[in-house]
Amino acid sequence: MLKIFNSIPRIQTFDSLKAHRNYRFLWLANFCSNTAHWLQLLTLGWLVKFLSEDASNSALLVVGIGGAVALPGVFIGPLGGVLGDRLDRRKLVIAIDVFMALLALIFAVLVQMNIIEIWQVYLYALIAGSCESIKMPVRSALVANTVPDRDISNAFATSVLTIPGTRMIGPFVGGLIVSSFGFFWNFAIEAFLYTSTVLCLIPMSLEYAGTKNEDEKFNFKRMFPDVFDGFKYLWRKQKSLSYLIILSSVPNIICQPILFLLPLYTASVLNKGADFGGYLLAVNGAGGLLMVLFISAFGFPSKRGLFCVICAFTSASITLLLSQTVWIPVAFLVLAAFGATQTAFRTTNGVLVQTLTDDLYRVRVMSVYRVVAGMIVIFGLGVGWMTDLTSPRWTIGIMGLIAVLISALFLIKVPVVRNQK
């Protein structure tokens, strides 16, 4: 009997949270910040839909919001990577979140005064996307600065818990508030969450951050050479990560617009409103939450590269399946499975980046991922245009087919990714 119990793997989900005080502060900060982000994405999408009800290009405008959030990652992401590697990472995130709290309050006032216009919503999306393109890779690198090397995999997996968890909470609550009280309270709550992030980060210290010498500190004249140095490091020393970045286009660029299309899919295919759109996005988050709980509890597969490829292929197949889904219970199941596979890919991929990359280059490498993810702007415009010409179902089907073909190519033809452990 004892042998049976000894063979059961030990649940290790919260090991890093229990062991490291500074990591607990970071985890709480990430929880608040990610909740604000998902609340923001739902609010902006439905606000644009509300403001563009009579426009002939309504679909393009709604999907374009997701692109506007992602666009700054293409241009600002690499520069943000240099800032994150050269400046104090904690202070940088605090400064950005103070600014975002003030911006959310300003927009709450504009909505309350009923003087909000579509161009202002797009401006907000561009500013928020600029801040996120700097902040997100920095927050990822902070994980490795708050725990020792032996705990990085567990800490990163536990940190990712905040993404699907908040993707479930933020849209669920936000959808209910929009339907019941309007958009003002969503922006007000967003400001509160960014303020809470700052309060969590103030007492945190970076006990496992390396000490920067004079050559490693920020120098404006060296900013662009530092950017190219990051790309050079990635291609010459971490070629398997370079291919993983290309593979990441499947979940992050081709399949991701499903979430931008949800307002249109919910309204035109399922014939439901903003509250139901929030439920669908919340179920998507629930699927991701269950997956990351499983990974953080029992660890990663031995061949993490192969696992990434399988997750990308599965996510692509689910996208194709959603295009044929018109029944509400099936839509819930499909979106939950989509969230699970997306989260599994990003968590495993993120751990590979954290463990294979030197600390001096961590934020710059993560920023390259943001650059690739930012290409969703171009793809998103195509998605919006195609949806205006056809329908959400046709567009999602084409997205799924493209993603299946690319991920199948990696599964068959790219062993350097499949064999990465």
**pLDDT one-digit tens code per residue, 24-55:** 999 999 999 989 988 888 888 888 888 887 66
Give the domains, in start order, of the chain with CATH numbers.
19-202+235-418 (1.20.1250.20)
Predicted confidence (pLDDT) per residue in 192-219, tens digit: 999 999 999 999 988 766 655 444 455 5
What pTM value is reported for the model?
Answer: 0.70
| DSSP state letters, 38-52 | HHHHHHHHHHHHHHT
Q: If you average pLDDT over residues 295-312, what whole number do you get? A: 83
Q: 339-371 burial by CB neighbour count: b if 16+ within 10 A, else e?
A: bbbbbbbbbbbbbbbbeebebebbbbbbbbbbb
Residue 58 pLDDT grade (very low, low, confident, very high; cuts 50, 70, 90): low
| DSSP state letters, 155-211 | HHHHHHTHHHHHHHHHHHHHHHHHHHH-SHHHHHHHHHHHHHHHHHHTT---TTPPP
For residues 90 and 379, which has the higher predicted lDDT (pLDDT)? 90
Structure tokens at 257: 């617009």
For residues 282 and 193, which has the higher predicted lDDT (pLDDT)? 193
Contacts of 298 (CB under 8 A, 6+ apart): 9, 11, 12
Of the candidates 327, 312, 308, 170, the one whose C-alpha atom is nearest the C-alpha of residue 255 is 312
CA–CA distance, 288 with 421 (Å, rounded to integer): 22
CA–CA distance, 250 with 338 (Å, rounded to integer): 12
For tokens 């210290």, the residue is 205
Residue 389 pLDDT grade (very low, low, confident, very high; cuts 50, 70, 90): confident
Q: Is residue 32 a contact partner of residue 193, using CB atoms and an 8 Å limit?
A: yes
62 to 48, 58, 120, 380, 383: CA distances (angstroms): 6, 6, 14, 10, 11
Q: What pLDDT, on the 0 to 100 scale, is given for residue 226?
A: 62
Q: Is residue 322 a contact partner of residue 331, using CB atoms and an 8 Å limit?
A: yes
Predicted confidence (pLDDT) per residue in 254-265, tens digit: 888 888 788 888
Which three-class secondary structure state does DSSP give residue 11? coil
Q: 289-305 burial by CB neighbour count: b if 16+ within 10 A, else e?
A: bebbbebbbeebeeebb
Q: If you average pLDDT over residues 98-111, what whole number do you get? A: 94
Q: If you average pLDDT over residues 277-299, what whole number do you get? A: 81
**Mean pLDDT over the full length of the chain:** 81
CA–CA distance, 12 with 384 (Å, rounded to integer): 43
For residues 366 and 415, which has the higher predicted lDDT (pLDDT)? 415
DSSP state of 214: G
Q: Residue 235: pLDDT above 80?
A: no
CA–CA distance, 75 with 233 (Å, rounded to integer): 19
The listed range with the strongest mean pLDDT (44-48, 127-131, 234-238) is: 127-131
Q: Is residue 360 a contact partner of residue 213, using CB atoms and an 8 Å limit?
A: no
Number of CB atoms found within 10 A of residue 117's CB: 10
Half-sphere exposure of 339 (CA within 13 A, CB side): 29
Q: Is residue 306 a contact partner of residue 380, using CB atoms and an 8 Å limit?
A: no
CA–CA distance, 264 with 273 (Å, rounded to integer): 10
